[in-house]
Structure 1
Amino acid sequence: MPDPVPAPLQMVEVQRTADAELDRLRPVLDGLGKAFEDAGHELALVGGPVRDAMLGRAHTDLDLTTSALPDETERILERWGDVTWDVGRAFGTIGCRKGPWQVEVTTYRTDAYDADSRKPDVAYGDTLAGDLGRRDFTVNAMAVRWPGRAFEDPYGGIVDLADRVLRTPVTPEQSFSDDPLRMMRAARFASQLGFDVAPEVVAAMTAMADRIEIVSAERVRDELVKTICGRWPRRGLSLLVETGLADRVLPELPALARERDEHQRHKDVYEHTLTVLEQSIELEERLPGGGPDLVSRLAALMHDVGKPRTRKFLDDGTVTFHHHDVVGAKLTRKRMKALRFSNDDTDAVTQLVELHLRFHGYGSGEWTDSAVRRYVRDAGDQLERLHVLTRADCTTRNQRKAARLRRTYDDLEERIARLSEEEELASLRPDLDGNQIMEVLGIGPGREVGLAYRHLLDLRLEEGPKSPEEARAALQSWWADQQRPDDQARG
């Protein structure tokens, strides 16, 4: 089961945790703060690092804000750090690395936004309070001045953090009008931190959901990825569905919610999907890189998106979703392309969605060895993720049925392991390569070599590995069959 969301914090606990983290940061920030102070400027740790210091989450990437303009910031950082960069100069940001620490310092800002764009016209401010007021949520609108460690919290972020709730420093309508992507960030923080979202923030997200459409697909995708890969993704995804944002960015998910059967003739596909996602997360330790695993989670989220388009009610009262795996794979590919996912991730997730039902043909172990080989071949390098998805897809409350499915899949995995050990199944190839095929048949490169290669691969799948002599004999027999119709035609 997913981790329980932490309870609200006691203020004394927040203070103690923050002090310990700020003590850890002193070796890097004391010197930097003194450098800015000597130059006549203010410097403050701000945003996520302050919030996470109170939550006991350590950082080596530090965000700071300053009264200094970018040119002066750059001069100070060049003297203090190991290397600097200015790719964010247009937004007032200069970056620096010193040892293991990565520091970004941004000039106080009071941005102005165009009504039809989320890109601000950058305007520099002159106060820390003004800079904090433009930030997304109160828990990110706290700062610690350096040196001296004076705490600044003009919008009550520390109380909201202790209560684990997301609010905006200004009205949520103004905040989301300024930057619509903040609505997606609300879902991301709900997923990553387990925070609740204040009712007025949810109401504004619902009323302004269509404004997300002016944000680029890449930025939406990045926030969606962080939401899916958070510790409590159900919270963030449910918020997107509840507010209507998912209708704009991932419409396949709310379509599952609308597909509920009022007569209870089949399970709630939307709730089933979120449960499969949570169960797949529990199984991520099986994957080579552990978790969070984006491809595995996306496959769990998308595996049944073909059901709304394939649902049919039969005369006997049952419900079918024939070919929802194939339809779902097409919908998945289309959505991931629209969100500008990489080709590799798109191919992997689409493949898993298309294969997620394959195991159910296994029955109680009736597959032949050749069928097991085909399962492995078709899964390719996604086999371990397919194991996770298939196991997670069992959400029945019938414990006897669930145990039977687990035992059956255990059996399949054991057979795969045995065959893999015996036949090097993971790198399954024909017993002869292309050059050997041409040599045996006395032909040059061409279509016939490909046909012969596929025949030998099918033979390998059906009958297992052969010796070189057996493979040559089988190839020559097949080749003779291919030539016979032509001989008869000439006769």
Structure 2
Amino acid sequence: MVQVLDSSSLDPIVLELGQLFVDAGHEISLVGGPVRDLFLGRTSPDLDFTTDATPEQTLQVARKWADAHWEVGRAFGTIAFRKNGRAGVPLTIEVTTYRAEAYEKDSRKPAVAFGHSLQDDLQRRDFTINSMALRLPALELVDPFGGERDLRAGILRTPAAPESSFSDDPLRMMRAARFAAQLGITVHPEVRAAMTAMAQRIGIISAERIRDELVKLICGAHPRAGIDILVDTGLAGHMLPELPALQLETDEHHRHKDVYQHSLQVLEQAAQLETGPEGTVPRPDFVLRFAALMHDCGKPSTRRFEPAGAVSFRHHDVVGAKLVAKRMKALRFDNDSIKAVARLVELHMRFYGYGEAEWTDSAVRRYVADAGPLLPRLHRLTRSDVTTRNQRKADRLSFAYDDLEGRITVLEAQEELASIRPDLDGAQIMALLGLKPGPVVGRAYKFLLEERMEHGPLGRDDAERRLAQWWAEQPEADDDGGSSDGDSGGSAAEPATKGTP
């Protein structure tokens, strides 16, 4: 029986485009994610179509109809268009010629061959839930592999044998974990078994494609489920080995918690603390979530069994920051994301001890200065790192962090902590001390910054007095000109400083 879907939820341009192709003597269908999302009650921001028309024919049909077009995917059979839809909202449209592609045994690039039928095109797709099409303009549902049934059952299966599907494109194994994270569905046992058997084949996929799938997984509604699949099938061992390494053997006396499960719980708790679109950490925030997942990645290499029986992980924060930066660099993340995640990992232990020995205002200033714009994320990461079942301990840590945040708020109102600078800038320092640009100016600047951190705003007069006292104790004070034009590490610019409470 032919099933025809209601068109009311589709943008009218879908039917417009369908009619254009049919009038030109071609087949065309809405396919993949947009069809799946119709059943989920969601609207896809992008529209994917498949057709028997060649890329050249697609351009002939739709170039004048669209507001803009791109041919960057032409070699793969894809022409992209932009067209304003309902209420003038611009939509991205991709029209791809029926195709059948597969990876060569050791190649990172697919060998592309155009196909001849809609059914063959659907069979080459990754999963049955993405192997449904709406034939246009009639809106006839084409579902030869039971995608609607699997979607309703919450099961992820492949149209063909999973081994064949993953051999064609190994990245589909990561997509399976990603769909589990995004949709909360279960991976079919046969699919999971194939992923486990073929995990090493992920090695032929480029770092950039793996990175993009990882970001989508981490930002999904159920990231823990996706991470578990990556680790359990062995995929993580080939692209993010720091994760399975967290599965430390717990000693028989349980002197340390399960680091892997703890990290997953921290990830979940951090995601729950994200804010709405207008908040300081909008959901989903990859940087916060990935830092939460990887915050203890330095523990495996720093674990030590102490003589008294305790287990220590000294400096795992510093080691972890280096490890996560190295891994993100290998996965071709941008420098800003790498620095942000690594900095959060490095700082995630800074708060501990605040409850036992209350920090001075200077220590609070350093905490804020070292976190910089990452402070809202650091707040959430630190709170999420509490997974103890001891409610008294959890309450004590929560109250202590409440107190710290309160003190930060008070000091921020008084001192503009987010932009702490010395009371004198580099030019004023050089004028007062008669110096030329050079390392001595940098040392003087650092001294004033330390004074600012320690004592709060000094005012110009006090800052000048303290600088004069400091200068009188420097060996260069007796030299003519104070400093050479050479630069061996400092300058009249405003160098950053790093301290610990």
Q: Tell me the TM-score normalized by structure 1.
A: 0.93
The aligned residue for residue 447 of structure 1 is 439
Structure 2 distance, partners of 1:194, 1:250, is: 22
Residue in 2 aligned with 1:93? 78
Partner of residue 68, structure 2:
83
Name the amino acid aligned to 2:428. Answer: Q
* Partner AA of 2:184 in structure 1: G
Counterpart of 2:235? 245
Deviation of 1:285 (Å): 1.2
Q: Is the contact between residue 355 and residue 397 of structure 2 (CA under 8 Å) also seen in structure 1?
A: no
Aligned residue among 241, 264, 278 for 2:268: 278
Compute the displacement of 1:289 (Å): 4.2
Say which of 350, 357, 360 aligns to 2:349: 357
Equivalent position to 1:390, from 382, 393, 412: 382
Whole-Å Cα distance in 1 between the matches of residues 178 and 132 of structure 2? 19
From the superposition, tell whether residues 437 and 411 of structure 1 become closer, same or farther in structure 2 (CA, over 3 Å): same
Q: Given that residues 303 and 353 in structure 1 are in contact (C-alpha distance below 8 angstroms), is that contact kept between their aligned partners in structure 2? A: yes
- Cα deviation, 1:58-106, whole Å, max 9, x if unaligned, reads 1231000001111110111113221111111001111111112221110
Q: Which residue of 2 aligns with 1:219?
A: 209
Kindly provide the amino acid, as one letter, of the partner of residue 425 in structure 1: L
Match of 1:408 in 2: 400
* Equivalent position amino acid for 2:354 in 1: Y
The count of corresponding residues between Structure 1 and Structure 2 is 470
Q: Looking at secondary structure, tell me which structure has more helix per residue.
A: 1
Amino acid at match of 1:85: W
Distance in 1 separating the partners of 2:413 and 2:115: 66
Is the alpha carbon distance of 1:334 and 1:144 closer, same or farther for their aligned partners in structure 2, counting shifts above 3 Å? same
The secondary structure found in structure 1 opposite 2:121 is: helix
Checking the alignment, whether the CA contact within 8 Å between 2:426 and 2:441 is kept in structure 1 is: yes
Contact 2:102 2:169 in 1 (8 A): no
Q: Quick check: 1:240–1:246 contact (8 Å CA) kept in 2?
A: yes
Residues of 1 paired with 2:17 and 2:416: CA distance? 57
Amino acid at match of 1:251: P
**Corresponding letter in the other structure for 1:151:** L
Residue 125 of structure 1 corresponds to which residue in structure 2? 115
Aligned with 2:296: secondary structure? coil
Q: Does 1:432 align with 2:417?
A: no
Paired-residue identity, % = 62
CA distance in 2, matches of 1:137, 1:147: 24
TM-score where L is the length of structure 2: 0.91
Maintained 8 Å contact 1:188/1:223: yes
* Alpha-carbon spacing, 1:484–1:160, altered in 2? closer, same or farther (3 Å): closer
Q: Secondary structure at the match of 1:265?
A: coil
Amino acid at match of 1:90: A
8 Å contact kept, 1:81–1:98: yes
Where structure 1 has 5 or more consecutive residues not aligned to the other structure, the ranges are: 1-14
Query: 1:201 corresponds to which residue?
Result: 191
In the alignment, structure 1 residue 43 sits paired with structure 2 residue 22: no
Amino acid at match of 1:387: H
Unaligned runs of 5+ in 2: 85-89, 480-501
Query: 2:152 aligns to what SS in structure 1?
Result: helix
Is 1:481 the counterpart of 2:473? The answer is yes
Q: Equivalent of 1:322, from 311, 314, 328?
A: 314
1:365/1:412 contact within 8 Å kept = no
Q: Following the alignment from structure 1 to structure 2, what is the Cα–Cα distance between the partners of residues 363 and 406?
A: 10
Secondary structure of 2:8's counterpart equals helix
Q: Does 1:256 align with 2:230?
A: no
What are the superposed Cα offsets for residues 264-308 of structure 1, whole Å, 9 maximum, x if unpaired?
Answer: 111111000000000000111185141111110111011101111
Letter in 2 for 1:206: T
Q: CA deviation at 1:260?
A: 3.3
Cα separation, partners in 2 of 1:151 and 1:105, compared to 1, 3 Å: same
What amino acid does structure 2 have at the position aligned with 1:267?
K
Q: Is residue 139–residue 157 contact of structure 1 (8 Å, CA) maintained in 2?
A: yes
Provide the rounded CA distance (Å) in 2 between the counterparts of 1:44 and 1:240: 33
8 A Cα contact 1:118 1:178, kept in partner: no
Alignment root-mean-square deviation, CA = 1.6
Q: State how far apart, in whole Å, the 2-side matches of 1:119 and 1:338 are.
A: 19
State how far apart, in whole Å, the 1-side matches of 2:165 and 2:146 are.
16
In 2, distance between residues paired with 1:479 and 1:467? Answer: 18
Matches within 5 A, 1:289-308: 289-308=281-300
Paired AA for residue 111 in structure 2: D
Residue 118 (structure 1) shift: 4.4
Query: Which residue identity does 1:423 align to in structure 2?
Result: E
Letter in 2 for 1:131: D
2: CA distance between counterparts of 1:321 and 1:329? Answer: 14
Counterpart amino acid of residue 214 in structure 1: I
**DSSP 3-state at the match of 1:122:** strand
The residue aligned with 1:189 is 179
Match of 1:113 among 80, 103, 125: 103
Contact 1:281/1:297 (8 A) holds in 2? yes
Aligned to 1:173: 163
Q: Per the alignment, in what secondary structure is the counterpart of residue 458 of structure 1?
A: helix
Distance change >3 Å, CA 222–CA 175, structure 1 → 2: same
* Superposed counterparts of 1:155-170, under 5 Å: 155-170=145-160
Q: Which residue of structure 1 lines up, in the alignment, with residue 94 of structure 2?
A: 104
Q: Structure 1 counterpart of 2:269, which letter?
A: Q
Structure-1 separation of matches of 2:20 and 2:54: 15
Shift of 1:312: 1.3
Does the 8 A contact of 1:259 with 1:308 survive in 2?
A: no
Task: Pick closer, same or farther for the CA change 1:258–1:206 going to 2, 3 Å.
Answer: farther
Q: Secondary structure of 2:99's partner?
A: coil
Q: Secondary structure at the match of 1:360?
A: coil
Distance between the aligned counterparts of 1:77 and 1:60, measured in 2? 20
The aligned counterpart of 2:37 is 52
Matched, 1:341 2:326: no
- CA pair 112-467 structure 1, distance change in 2 beyond 3 A: closer
Shift of 1:29: 1.7
8 Å CA contact retained: 1:118, 1:180: no
Partner of 1:471: 463
Equivalent position of 1:8 in the other structure: none
Q: Secondary structure in 1 aligned to 2:26?
A: coil
**After superposition, what is the alpha-carbon deviation per residue over 1:454-483, rounded to whole angstroms, capped at 9, x for unaligned?**
000000001111121111111111100114
Mapped to 2, the partners of 1:333 and 1:38 lie a distance apart of 54
**AA of the residue aligned to 1:178:** D
Partner AA of 1:252 in structure 2: E
| Residues 411-430 of structure 1, C-alpha deviations (whole Å, 9 max, x = no match) | 00111111111111110000
Q: Give the letter for the 1:29 counterpart.
A: V
Amino acid of the structure 2 residue aligned with 1:137: F
